[in-house]
Chains A and B, each alone.
Chain A
Amino acid sequence: MEYILIGVWKAFGLILSLDREVFSITSLSLRVSAMATILASVAGMPLGFIIGTENFFGKRVLVTIFNTLMAFPTVVVGLLLYSFISRIGPLGSFGLLFTPWAMVIGQFILATPIIVALTISATQGIDPRVRLTALSMGANSLQTACTMLSEARFSLISAVVAGFGRVITEVGCALMVGGNIRGHTRTMTTAIALETAKGEFAFALALGFILLMAAFLVNILFHWLQEIRG
């Protein structure tokens, strides 16, 4: 019981003392997850928009596939990626295994289905008159798309936040393809797993609280972006 309180106490101590190791772990976690979320948004939003607004053969199958991929276990993603980027795998010559980029790729694979699926449902809900109005006012297809996306912006921000939430908290994939290397690929979640294994519960808990706080700050940032975009 006692160590929970010690954990809270330690978390504040670590933040206030600007502990270098904690800072670098937190910063790596945020950088990797944010990079993955940005890439996943760039790829996933247009894809989700097209699937959500166009009608074509096989659309429902595609929607089902993306909904299923949302539940892709992180360790399976890690395992698949590992076998691809290991030196004996097909992409081995790039030497990506055990680098931050490997984690970015893994998290990209995890976040994209979420962003695609949520963008699909966000754009499906747009009033069809928005599109007709934009077209009748002489907008080209890109301008029309922008108008429609801006109509659904709140749901789209939620999609990005959900994608970010998935990757900042995942541990299976980051541990496998990152390797939990101190000062290089050690993220908040892999560090928590390691400290728990070492019996450093208070320190592990402290990292957990810091992770929560970091996520909180990122959400505030998203909220702010939403405001300036609106």
Chain B
Amino acid sequence: MKRLALLTFLFLFALLFFSQASAIERLRLSTTTSTENSGLLNVLLPPFEKLFNLKVDVIPVGTGKALKMAENGDVDVTLVHARSLEDRFVREGYGVNRRDLMYNDFVIIGPKSDPAGVRNAKDAPEAFKWVALKHATFISRGDNSGTYVKEMEIWKMTGNKPSGNWYLEAGKGMGMVLIMCNEKRAYTLTDRATYLALSGTQKIDLPVLFEGDPMLFNPYGIIAVNPARHPHVDYVKAMALIGWVTSRAGQKIIKEFGKDKFGKPLFVPVAVPNP
């Protein structure tokens, strides 16, 4: 009798487990933390899912890892922001049909008092140079994300490798690094979308200290995984997603996103003129 009760319990449990594994079709998208943490994908993807009656599984990681997942064929499509890595990814035959999706820019943020005087720098490398000179605390992503790639590019132009106990490599996503900066009153390089998503909701109170250098331009691209290399990927649906986000309707969502919450859009769409 007791055994029967136990078996029934296990059986019901197994049933419960499998019932959730519904047969709806899924498309896998690896992407950067900025598109997910800012909330863009939560408004951009649902209309697409409805239109094609499928579910997009979003895996938010840094750009480097997102591309690696695509390279291994673990996802169908990838949305990232590091042009140099993207070009190599396509050139080596891992991805096809890259489209420019949108852009925003990187900004340098830090404590209001600005001990390194970054506000008066004439370009991004100079701003970094002053941070290093003053040994002001700087938190780096320390991962292989698009932001980190850009940060390294800037450090390279200063001619010095950052090192010392003022330079902290966090190894975390953009949102977490901004929160750490807020706690430690530190400088960092961030994409504007994640920054606005956190500062606009009063989670951090660090001002933008430097912006506008052309080298801080931050374009996002979307790339389908090459079906010739990974036959199992859902290439048709991946292309449908690329088609949707670069369509007039998709681009309009990107253009409007953030206006109500932060007073200005977080991303500027580029696939169609004036969506």
Chain A residues with CB under 8 Å of chain B are 27-28, 31, 34-35, 38, 86-88, 92-93, 95, 97-98, 100, 179-185, 196-199, 225, 228-229
Q: Are A34 and B60 in contact (CB under 8 A)?
A: no
- Give Cα A198 to B5, complex, Å: 44
Q: Are A98 and B5 in contact (CB under 8 A)?
A: no
A-B contact pairs, 5 of them (CB 8 A): A98-B28, A98-B59, A182-B58, A197-B37, A199-B204
Q: Are B20 and A86 in contact (CB under 8 A)?
A: no
Q: Are A95 and B57 in contact (CB under 8 A)?
A: no
Partner of B176, one of A179, A197, A228: A197
Residues from chain B with a CB closer than 8 A to the CB of A27 are: 20
Residues from chain B with a CB closer than 8 A to the CB of A182 are: 58
- Give Cα A180 to B60, complex, Å: 8
Chain B residues with CB under 8 Å of chain A are 2, 5-6, 9-10, 13-14, 16-17, 20-21, 26, 28, 33, 37, 55, 57-60, 72-74, 172-173, 175-176, 178-179, 197-198, 201, 203-204, 230, 232
Residues from chain A with a CB closer than 8 A to the CB of B2 are: 228-229
From known contacts A87-B72, A87-B74, A228-B2, infer whether A35 and B58 are also in contact, taking CB-CB under 8 Å: no
From known contacts A180-B60, A198-B175, A229-B2, infer whether A98 and B10 are also in contact, taking CB-CB under 8 Å: no
- 8 A-B pairs with the lowest CB-CB distances in the bound complex, closest first: A199-B203, A87-B73, A197-B176, A179-B59, A181-B57, A197-B175, A88-B72, A197-B173
Partner of A31, one of B16, B26, B230: B16
Q: Are A31 and B20 in contact (CB under 8 A)?
A: yes
19 A-B pairs besides A180-B60, A199-B178 with CB distance below 8 A are: A35-B17, A87-B72, A87-B74, A92-B73, A98-B57, A98-B59, A100-B21, A179-B57, A181-B58, A182-B58, A184-B55, A197-B173, A197-B175, A197-B176, A199-B198, A199-B204, A225-B9, A228-B6, A229-B6
- Give Cα A209 to B266, complex, Å: 33
- Give Cα A180 to B178, complex, Å: 21
Q: Nearest B residue to A179 by beta-carbon distance?
A: B59
- Give Cα A97 to B28, complex, Å: 11
Q: Are B74 and A228 in contact (CB under 8 A)?
A: no
Q: Are A184 and B57 in contact (CB under 8 A)?
A: yes
Q: Nearest A residue to B176 by beta-carbon distance?
A: A197
Residues from chain A with a CB closer than 8 A to the CB of B5 are: 228
- Give Cα A38 to B33, complex, Å: 35
Residues from chain B with a CB closer than 8 A to the CB of A228 are: 2, 5-6
